[in-house]
Amino acid sequence: MSVSTYNERPAAKSGETDGFSVLWSRPRPKRTVFSARLVSAITILALLAAWTAAASLQLVSPVFLPSPAAVWAKFVVVARDGFVDATLLQHTLASLWRVFAALIAAILVGVPVGLAIGISRIGRGVFDPLLEFLRPIPPLAYLPLIIIWFGIGEPSKILVIAIAMLAPVALSTAAGVRGVSRERVDAARSLGATRAQVIRHVILPSALPSILTGLRIALGAGWSTLVAAELVAATRGLGFMIQSAAQFLVTDVVVMGILVIAIIAFALEFVIRRIERVLVPWAGRE
Amino acid sequence: MAHLILDKVSVHYDGQPAPAVERVSLDIGRSDSGRGDFVVLVGRSGCGKTSLLNVAAGLVEPAGGLATVGGKPITGPGSDRAVVFQNDALFPWLTARENVAFALRLRGVSADKRARRADELLSLVKLGDAGDKRIWELSGGMRQRVGLARALAAEPQFLLLDEPLGALDALTRERMQTTLLDLWAAAQVGVLMVTHGIEEALVLATRIVVLAPGPGHVVRTFETNFGRRYAAGEPIRAIKADPAFAAARAELTDAIFEGEAA
């Protein structure tokens, strides 16, 4: 399953597939047998084979390392019958909802904050230190405080994820805004644009590629905060499912949950890259 | 007859020991009937050409002197003085047509009206069929044409051109010079242009102002009529082959390098 998913990986942007070795090697006619993608597929297959072999030879106890077949079987069972009172789909949707609610909140706060940092000295003075303070704190460190303040309900979970997403969104927006070409702004002003029109029609679209990059980073950060957010008083969610399984040593569910989280993260990355290509086709072509 | 006037303008940038421009006066006129002035600023690097253009655009505040347009002091950029930059400064998220229509969109002109006007202007710069193209699909010369059309859409009284042909190859450049002359004749604008090209200045200008650095000041002013001759129908190659053109070029070159350490 993971092999075929991996093969569908988008070739990123053309020319971005392989940085150093592409720059290093002389251009030559294409007769390469081992493309990077093929090598990746072989690597995955080799790892799967090693995993299968280790499990079937009983090198370690199934409690520590269930076989791929067992994990797959568990996937089917949990997808159909559920685990801890919810099906796999319900767990997944609960997690996705939290991450997306947090993403929306992070956009609503982070983009204006980044804009303020990028265009105004006062904005930068106010928000820059706050973000720099917030950015390096691990979510697990502020989770208890948020629970004290906001209780153990759904808002707390979304807030924890949103805080993890805020800095990447705001800082990428600010970087994009600061990178707007002076000439573009001057041209718009000389065509009669007011300050608000310059922001709306020039600065925001110019910063869009950078904002989207920020969203990509933020989704990664949010997704990895998920398990922490679902530590407390959740009844659904992939992170919750993994933790419950771990408490009962149901290792195959743990492994299956980890793989599902990885695959969803991968799929989200893929979707955002698609969105980038549709929304900002000019990025890197100017 | 409206005038864009710089009266003994000085420019002094923050943190610079010396002013970039000292007491330079310029007068660019335009009229509703017939052609306005086509004033070209030439001079070595650091002579303050672009600073003066930015003062006229309202992007730089003069440290001394007064800049006025139509008798009123210039307090900031405005669509009566549209600027075209060397690097087109077009908006890549818009099509060529939407770029041209930008000034109209700012004014709230309805979508189909501004599309129609944009198409007219695109045909004027000979890009009639490129309206739906994205900016990165256009060559450098085509982009500058879009930039010019976009500036004209604002219906400016004056066009301020900051080395608009500087980034183009020689052949495209030559073709763009006649395009500029055609636009100047059609749009009834006064033009202030900065260039490094000596021949370009001669082909286009009605008046050439030669600046010298340290700090920027006017060393000479030439009145020329080669651009008007083209506008009157004489072919550009014949004009350039005219011995008077060669003589003017030698004289202008001397003026530009005058006073430079020999």
Q: Do the Cβ atoms of B82 and A189 come within 8 Å? A: no
Which of A181, A192, A281 minimises the CB distance to B78? A192
At A160-197, the pLDDT tens digits run 999 999 999 999 999 999 999 999 999 999 999 999 99
CA-to-CA distance for A128 and A123, rounded, in angstroms? 8
On whether the CB atoms of residues A249 and A257 are closer than 8 A, the answer is: no
Over residues B168-185, mean pLDDT: 88
Decide if A13 touches B, using CB distance below 8 A: no
pLDDT score at A286: 61
| Cβ-based contacts of B87 with chain A (< 8 Å) | 181, 183
pLDDT of residue B214: 83
Whether the Cβ atoms of residue B57 and residue B81 lie closer than 8 Å to each other: yes
- Of B76, B82, B106, nearest to A197 by CB-CB distance is B106
Please report the pLDDT score of residue A59 as a whole number: 83
Let me know the angle formed at the C-alpha of A213 by A207 and A218, rounded to the nearest 5 degrees.
120
- Look at residue A29 and tell me whether its pLDDT is greater than 80: no
Residue A238 structural domain: 88-279
Same domain, A139 and A260: yes
Same domain, A49 and A92: no
Top CATH class, B27-80+156-262: alpha beta
d(CA B154, CA A145): 56
Per-residue confidence band for A7, with pLDDT thresholds at 50, 70 and 90: very low
CA closest to B138 among chain A residues: A286
**Whether residue A95 sits in one domain with residue A53:** no
Strand B81-84, strand B158-162: pairing: parallel
Rounded average pLDDT over A269-286: 85
| Mutation target vs A (from B59, B105, B106; most A CBs, 10 A cutoff) | B106
User: Residue A85 is encoded by which pair of tokens?
Assistant: 């009172």
Q: Please tell me whether residues A156 and A38 are part of one structural domain.
A: no
Q: What is the pLDDT of residues B83-96, one digit of tens each?
A: 998 887 899 999 99
- What would the mean pLDDT of A104-130 be, rounded to a whole number? 94
Tokens at B62, concatenated: 């003069």
Tell me which H or E stretch contains A283: none
- The closest of B181, B172, B249, B254 to B219, measured between CA atoms, is B254
Number of domains into which chain A is organized: 2
Is the CB of A190 less than 8 angstroms away from the CB of B134?
no
CA distance B30 to B74: 17
Mean pLDDT on A124-145: 90
Inter-chain contact A190–B150, Cβ cutoff 8 Å? Answer: no
Residues A183 and A264 in one domain: yes
Contacts of A205 in chain B (CB under 8 A): 91, 93
Last residue in a domain, options A40, A57, A74: A57
* pLDDT tens sequence across B2-44: 899 999 999 999 988 888 998 999 999 987 777 889 999 999 8
Looking at the complex, does the CB of residue A278 fall below 8 Å from at least one CB of chain B?
Answer: no
Percent of chain A's residues with pLDDT above 90: 48
Whether the pLDDT of residue B174 is over 90: the answer is no
**Which residue from B59, B82, B87 is facing A191, i.e. has the nearest CB?**
B82
* Residue A249 and residue A203 share a domain: yes
Average pLDDT of the residues of chain A: 86
pLDDT tens digits along B208-224 = 999 998 888 999 999 99
Instruction: With cut-offs at 50, 70 and 90, classify the pLDDT of residue A130.
Output: very high
**Claim to verify: residue A256 and residue A181 sit in the same structural domain:** yes
The pLDDT value recorded for residue B253 is 92
Residues A97 and A148 in one domain: yes
The pLDDT value given to residue A162: 94
The answer to whether position A118 is within a domain reads: yes
This prediction's pTM: 0.81
| Percent of chain B residues topping a pLDDT of 70 | 98
Question: If you ran DSSP here, which 8-state letter would residue A201 be given?
Answer: I
Report d(CA A80, CA A87) in Å as an integer. Answer: 7
- By Cβ distance, the residue of A183, A280, A281 closest to B89 is A183
Domain containing residue A140: CATH number: 1.10.3720.10
Mapped onto helix, strand or coil, the DSSP state of residue B167 is: coil
**Is residue A213 situated within a structural domain?**
yes
Mean pLDDT, range A281-286, rounded to an integer:
76
Does residue A76 belong to any structural domain of this protein?
Answer: no
B contacts of A189 (beta carbons < 8 Å): 59, 76-77
Supply the ipTM of this predicted assembly.
Answer: 0.88
pLDDT of residue B167: 82
> Residue B79: its chain A contacts at CB < 8 A?
190-192
Is A117 found in the same domain as A43?
no
Selected for mutation to probe chain A from B93, B136, B150 (highest A CB count within 10 Å) is: B93
Is B136 in contact with A193 (Cβ distance < 8 A)? no
- Indicate whether A170 and A267 sit together in one domain: yes
The reported pLDDT for the residue numbered A12 is 43
Q: In the prediction, which pLDDT does A13 show? A: 45
Q: Looking at residues B61-84, what average pLDDT do you find?
A: 92
Mean pLDDT of chain B: 90
Q: Which of B82, B92, B105 sits opposite A190 (nearest CB)?
A: B82
What is d(CA A4, CA A37) in angstroms, rounded to the nearest whole number?
12
Extents of the domains making up chain B = 27-80+156-262, 90-154
Q: Is residue A79 part of a domain?
A: no
- Taking contacts as CB-CB distances below 8 angstroms, the residues of chain B near A194 are 106
